[in-house]
Structure 1
Amino acid sequence: MTPSPAEPGSGGGFVRRKRVWFHHCDPAGIVFYPQYLLLVNEVLQDWFETGLEVGYAGLFAERRVGIPTVRLECDFIAPSRLGDDLDITLTVARIGKSSFELRYECAGTEPDDVRVRIRAVLVTTSLDGHGTIPIPQDIRTAMERYT
Structure 2
Amino acid sequence: MICTEAVLADTPFVVRRRVKWGECDPAGVVYTPSFSEYVISTAELFYERLFDGRPQRTKDELGFGTPTRALAFDFRRSLWPDESFDIEVQVEAIGTRTYTLELTARMSEGRDTAFVARLTPICVRRGTRDAINVPASLRNALEQYRRACETHHLANPSHQGQTA
Shorter-chain TM band: 0.7 to 0.9
Q: 1:44 to 1:26 in 2, by over 3 A?
A: same
What is residue 8 of structure 2 aligned with on the other side? 3
Unaligned runs of 5+ in 2: 1-5, 147-164
What is residue 36 of structure 1 aligned with on the other side? 35
What is residue 155 of structure 2 aligned with on the other side? none
**Is 2:123 aligned against 1:124?**
yes
Alpha-carbon distance, 1:60 to partner: 4.6
Query: What CA distance in whole angstroms lies between the structure 2 residues aligned with 1:128 and 1:20?
Result: 35
TM-score scaled by length of structure 1: 0.87
Query: What CA distance in whole angstroms lies between the structure 1 residues aligned with 2:119 and 2:44?
Result: 14
Query: What CA distance in whole angstroms lies between the structure 2 residues aligned with 1:31 and 1:108?
Result: 14
Alpha-carbon distance, 1:21 to partner: 0.7
Contact 1:5 1:16 in 2 (8 A): no
- The one-letter code sitting in structure 2 at the alignment partner of 1:46 is L
Contact 2:90 2:102 in 1 (8 A): yes
Alpha-carbon distance, 1:26 to partner: 1.1
Query: What CA distance in whole angstroms lies between the structure 2 residues aligned with 1:63 and 1:51?
Result: 14
Identity of aligned residues (%): 26
Q: 1:43 to 1:100 in 2, by over 3 A?
A: same
Is the deviation greater in 74-83 or in 133-142?
133-142
Q: List structure 1 segments (4+ residues) > 2 angstroms apart after TM superposition.
A: 51-55, 59-64
TM-score scaled by length of structure 2: 0.79
What is residue 86 of structure 2 aligned with on the other side? 87
- The one-letter code sitting in structure 2 at the alignment partner of 1:18 is R
CA RMSD between the two structures: 1.7
Is the deviation greater in 121-130 or in 107-116?
107-116
Deviation string 1:23-43 (CA, Å, 9 cap, x unpaired) is: 211111121111011011111
Q: Matched residue pairs, number?
A: 141
Q: 1:111 to 1:145 in 2, by over 3 A?
A: farther
Unaligned runs of 5+ in 1: 7-12
What is residue 152 of structure 2 aligned with on the other side? none
Query: What CA distance in whole angstroms lies between the structure 2 residues aligned with 1:125 and 1:48?
Result: 16
- Structure richer in helix, relative to its length: 2
